[in-house]
Structure 1
């Protein structure tokens, strides 16, 4: 089995279509279609059920996709390990970081790494934690900054635990409270992160436990924009304490949540059993030896 058609098939599934996959891998849609057809011919069964403009995985397609993701990741591990054995030292670190908290937590560490290993090429990917975990599982990156809890497929190095706070406009009735429960925000509109962010899931899970159906008035991936919406009186949003404190002031108030299970716990994660190149191991050693401030514990 050739890896190129398999990689294109996996990308079609991950991106949700042929045209999206073509944009992602910088190829034509015709090239993607031919690669998937080549894979289907080699296996001898259809992998996608084409219904109009949609393509749905067949039972065989689900098996090939699940196994294919692992095969591609193992191939990348194999090449990296052989390069190290030959002493080639590819010198590439593929790092995925989330927008929330990275500038505070990882920027100093990133700078230290670059100073110590100037010859290493750092390929940086920025997405929400959930999207980064997909990339990590597919072997596209070596490490991801992710919120706990996470998949048992990953090894975990804890970084930082922070309580979540609600950001409120100064005139809000609860803005002067020492702590608030989510249920007390029942009448307050929510400004949420996009669904690809783990913090989106954390808040919605907490709302379900509190039997609260939030009224979402805006969804964004831009922290500063969301804070401006709060300052304008549109509603409330939620951030880790250390991030919120950087933006607190006369325009917004930060009130800790009393809700259990809403701590923001950041970790550096990597695939369980994955081979770590010399460049990747150097990053992990730096993460493990770094002073992250407050001690972190498992939730």
Structure 2
């Protein structure tokens, strides 16, 4: 059994696409198709089906998948312990993250981490709240940078607070106000992150009984910013994402204020790899 081939299959399942998986790991689509056929030939049955909506496991593949996930994780941990004994840190850390964190926090964390551990590879996967939690649950990632959520089953390590702010075009009538209220969002066109993608904004609406006038939704924060700048509506975004000045928009505090607690989630801290534990330590030290 070739675990390296199954690691590629893990990436295919996580991205839901042969093309996206190939882009992430540097394989052509034909190369990935050949790899799948090779695994299926060794097993003697199909493990994956493909259609216009993406890829999914067959019933036989679903039976094997949990075992393969555990084997990959144990193999990674085994190799890291052996390397540690020899005094050389190696391995791969698969990180799931929000876009705002991958652009603002992770570059300095990864730079410092890889300065000290140059032989440890980093694989980043961006997604929304629901997707990150699914990836963590299914062992597609080793840890996730995301915001706090009640009743999460994974181990939670808080890092830092981040305020949510209103985002408006510079010429919008609300741009002259000191702060934006729930009523303002109900009386203006609103650009919303897709359901399941931005839990914090949707949670703010629910807590304040806001029914925004949503005409556009997007899974990409920078698309939201672009649409706001073109006077297509107003929105709410995390302040962390907006640290770089942008003259095409203005930001205003919310009243009542809203903030999210950002941190790291791991499925099980006791079962985390040595490299994952080290990255968590670096993140805590850099963001304290």
TM-score norm. by structure 1 comes to 0.70
Note closer, same or farther for the CA distance 1:38–1:13 as it changes in structure 2 (3 Å cut). farther
For 1:274 and 1:157, the matched residues in 2 are separated by 15
Note closer, same or farther for the CA distance 1:84–1:194 as it changes in structure 2 (3 Å cut). farther
1:267 is matched with 263
Note closer, same or farther for the CA distance 1:10–1:253 as it changes in structure 2 (3 Å cut). closer
Task: Kindly indicate whether the alpha-carbon contact (under 8 Å) linking 1:169 and 1:252 is maintained by their aligned counterparts in 2.
Answer: yes
2:147 is matched with 147
Note closer, same or farther for the CA distance 1:95–1:6 as it changes in structure 2 (3 Å cut). closer
Task: Kindly indicate whether the alpha-carbon contact (under 8 Å) linking 1:93 and 1:122 is maintained by their aligned counterparts in 2.
Answer: yes
Q: How far 1:153 moved relative to its partner? A: 5.3
Task: Kindly indicate whether the alpha-carbon contact (under 8 Å) linking 1:160 and 1:267 is maintained by their aligned counterparts in 2.
Answer: yes
For 1:111 and 1:49, the matched residues in 2 are separated by 39
1:226 is matched with 224
For 2:51 and 2:114, the matched residues in 1 are separated by 49
Q: How far 1:251 moved relative to its partner? A: 4.2
2:157 match: secondary structure: strand
1:165 match: secondary structure: strand
2:200 is matched with 202
Is residue 180 from structure 1 mapped to residue 181 from structure 2 by the alignment?
Answer: yes
2:218 match: secondary structure: strand
Q: How far 1:179 moved relative to its partner? A: 3.8
Q: How far 1:80 moved relative to its partner? A: 1.8
Q: How does 1:32-111 map to 2 (within 5 A)?
A: 32-39=36-43, 41=45, 47=47, 57-90=57-90, 95-111=95-111
Deviations 1:234-279 (A, max 9, x none): 11122223444654768424131538xx6322112333132432x4
For 1:52 and 1:233, the matched residues in 2 are separated by 35
Note closer, same or farther for the CA distance 1:53–1:94 as it changes in structure 2 (3 Å cut). closer
Task: Kindly indicate whether the alpha-carbon contact (under 8 Å) linking 1:135 and 1:141 is maintained by their aligned counterparts in 2.
Answer: yes
For 1:227 and 1:163, the matched residues in 2 are separated by 17
2:149 match: secondary structure: coil
Task: Kindly indicate whether the alpha-carbon contact (under 8 Å) linking 1:81 and 1:275 is maintained by their aligned counterparts in 2.
Answer: no
For structure 2, the residue ranges without an aligned partner over 5 or more in a row are: none
For 1:58 and 1:166, the matched residues in 2 are separated by 45
Task: Kindly indicate whether the alpha-carbon contact (under 8 Å) linking 1:22 and 1:29 is maintained by their aligned counterparts in 2.
Answer: no
Task: Kindly indicate whether the alpha-carbon contact (under 8 Å) linking 2:170 and 2:249 is maintained by their aligned counterparts in 1.
Answer: yes
For structure 1, the residue ranges without an aligned partner over 5 or more in a row are: 293-299
Task: Kindly indicate whether the alpha-carbon contact (under 8 Å) linking 2:166 and 2:253 is maintained by their aligned counterparts in 1.
Answer: yes
Q: How does 1:150-165 map to 2 (within 5 A)?
A: 152=152, 154-165=154-165
For 1:32 and 1:38, the matched residues in 2 are separated by 10
Aligned residue pair count:
280
For 1:155 and 1:215, the matched residues in 2 are separated by 34
The alignment's C-alpha RMSD in Å is: 4.1
Which of 273, 277, 286 aligns to 1:276? It is: 273
Q: How far 1:122 moved relative to its partner? A: 4.7
Q: How far 1:20 moved relative to its partner? A: 5.8
For 1:230 and 1:93, the matched residues in 2 are separated by 36
Q: How far 1:205 moved relative to its partner? A: 5.0
